[in-house]
Structure 1
Amino acid sequence: MRVPFAMGVGGTFDVMAGLTRRAPRWMQRSGLEWFYRFLQEPRRMFRRYFIEDMGFFGLLAIAMLQRLVGPKRARREA
């Protein structure tokens, strides 16, 4: 998927419909709201977070390494 921005909003619909509750503020601020959702529905969320998202984490690791190493520089010919 080559898009500059993607946003998942499925959990938002569950909260707005009153089907689930949001995580406590400290978890929201710590970036752990996904973990709160996992604890609420482990059977449903396990596959999504720990199997399907692994490909994303691989791509994220590659992108972070590329930023760390920087662009490849052409070697000068003598």
Structure 2
Amino acid sequence: MKELDLSRNLYDLVQQYPEVKEIMATNGFAAIKQPGMLQTAGRYMTILKGAQMKKIPLAHIVQVFEEAGFLVKGDAK
């Protein structure tokens, strides 16, 4: 099973699991597909920070990743 650590930045997560980019894009984070976004903001942005910024319930994000076969770790409260 793939482990997704919510405390890691998006750039690192997408490097490890490229499908994270598409999952994020289809769940309210469309900006992740913009050219250069991962190389800049993605280096310091985490899923936790992004969910707070976009006001997307973290429980929804966790559920989406679990349905995609990920074991979600980190502060998912």
Kindly indicate which of the two structures has a greater share of residues assigned to helix: 1
Give the strand-richer structure, 1 or 2.
2
Q: Same fold (TM over 0.5)?
A: no
**With structure 2 as the length reference, what TM-score do the two structures score?**
0.31
Q: Which has the higher contact order (CA 8 A, sep 6+)?
A: 2
